Amino acid sequence: MKEKELRRSQAVLPIGTVMKLTNLSARQIRYYEEQGLVIPERNEGNRRMYSLNDIDKLLEIKDFLADGINMAGIKRIYEEQAQKEAQKQAQRSKPLTDEDVRRILRDEFINVSGLSKNDGFSFRNNRNL
DNA sequence: ATTCTGACA
DNA sequence: TGTCAGAA
């Protein structure tokens, strides 16, 4: 499931093809780049090369614009998404909190004692275990 | 032939 | 955003 992502991010399309696929003018496509949205790769000859993901991004921008959202608004949308993703990344690399440790220890104890997660009280009343 | 950057009659 | 110029 990762080979597919690689292909989608492969920049192999020249701006001419992108124009036909998105029905956007070269002027618009380059302008969106100036605004920091959809930054294509450059080949040996400084020509812009786009990936399928770039195409999707451009079509998405096109829809936002059609819905009356301006450049500033679109930038905000992507900035917010970037921030949320960044927080998820940070959460992944965070060490276990005290709460996490307590939960893990409790679950482990339940396993060793042979109790199920919902009969915590029966333990106290069941001396012969 | 295609694309790039810069500029605006 | 369109369009034209001069270069790659």
pLDDT, tens digit, for every residue of A49-69? 999 999 999 999 999 999 999
pLDDT at A112: 87
Protein residues contacting strand B, judged by Cβ under 7 Å: A 14-17, 19, 26-27, 30, 46-48
Decide if pLDDT at A123 tops 50: no
Protein residues contacting strand C, judged by Cβ under 7 Å: A 24-28, 31, 45, 65
A32 closest-nt by C1' vs CA = C1
pLDDT at A113: 83
Give the dihedral sign, CA A80/A92/A55/A59. Answer: negative
Q: Measure A11 CA to B9 C1' (Å).
A: 37
Residue A3's identity, in one-letter code, is: E
What mean pLDDT value characterizes chain A? 90
